[in-house]
Amino acid sequence: MLAPVVKGVLLGLILSISMGPVIFAILKQSLTKGKQAGYIFVAGVSASDISLLFICNVFASWFVLILDHKALVALLGAGFLLLTGLYTLFFKKIVLPVIDADNEPSYRKRDYVGMFVSGFAMNTLNPNVFLFWFAWTAAIGTLAADAANPIHYKLLVFVPCLVVLLLSDLIKVALASKLRPKLTEKNLVWINRISAIIILIFSAALFISALQYA
C-alpha cells in the first residue's frame, strides 16, 4: 500500500507551496511575533485543514451544492482578505518587539487564542484551500472505492498529506525565527507593507474569480 502514501506526500507538498496568503502570513507571524506565535498560527491553519478535510469527506454530496455558489464563496474570501490587507496596511500599529536570542516575547492567553483563530480563519476562508480539499477528496474517494478497505485507503493518503503540510509550515516558522534577531523597525515596516500588498493582490484575484463565476 505504498502508492496511496506517495500520493498523500505529493499532495502535501503541492498544498504547502500553493496556498498563497497563508504562506506569507505564517512567515510574517514568525518574524514579527516570535517562533511561539508562529507555531500557534500554524496550529490554527492545521486545525482548519483537518476540519475542511473531515467535512469534505463526510458531506461530499452536500458540497456539490456549494459549487453552484462559487461566486459567493470567492466573494467571502475576497472580502476577508481585503479587510485583513487594509487593516494591515493602514491601521495596524508597527511595534518592534523586544528580541532576545534566548527568550521569546510573552503573550496573554487571549493573544494566543487570537493567533490560532486568525490562522484558522485565513485558511478556512481561502477558497483555493476548500476547492483543493474538495477536489482531491472526490478524486481519492473514487480510487478508494476500488480498494479492499476504502477508509483505510483514504487514511493512507490524507494522514501523510496532513503530516507533510504541518511539517512544511513548522519549517517555515523555524527558518523565519533564524532571521528574526536581525529585524529592525524599518524592516518590520516593509514586511508589514509587503504582506498587506500580497494579501490585497490575492483579494483582487478572488474578486475577479467571483465575477467570472457569476
**d(C-alpha 57, C-alpha 133), whole Å:** 9
- CA distances 173 to 8, 23, 100, 109, Å, are 22, 10, 17, 20
Residues 91, 96, 101, CA angle at the centre, nearest 5°?
A: 145
CB 213 within 8 A of CB 38: no
Provide the terminal-to-terminal Cα distance of the chain, rounded to the nearest Å. 43
Q: With cut-offs at 50, 70 and 90, classify the pLDDT of residue 150.
A: confident
Which H or E run includes 84?
A: helix 70-86
50-54, 76-80, 173-177: least confidently modelled range: 76-80
Name the pLDDT band for 70 (thresholds 50, 70, 90).
low
pLDDT in tens, 128-139: 787 778 777 877
H/E stretch holding 193: helix 185-213
CA distances from 156 to 8, 16, 58, 148 (A): 7, 18, 17, 13
Phi, psi of 35 (to 5 degrees): -65, -40
> Please, are residues 53 and 137 in contact by the beta-carbon 8 Å criterion?
yes
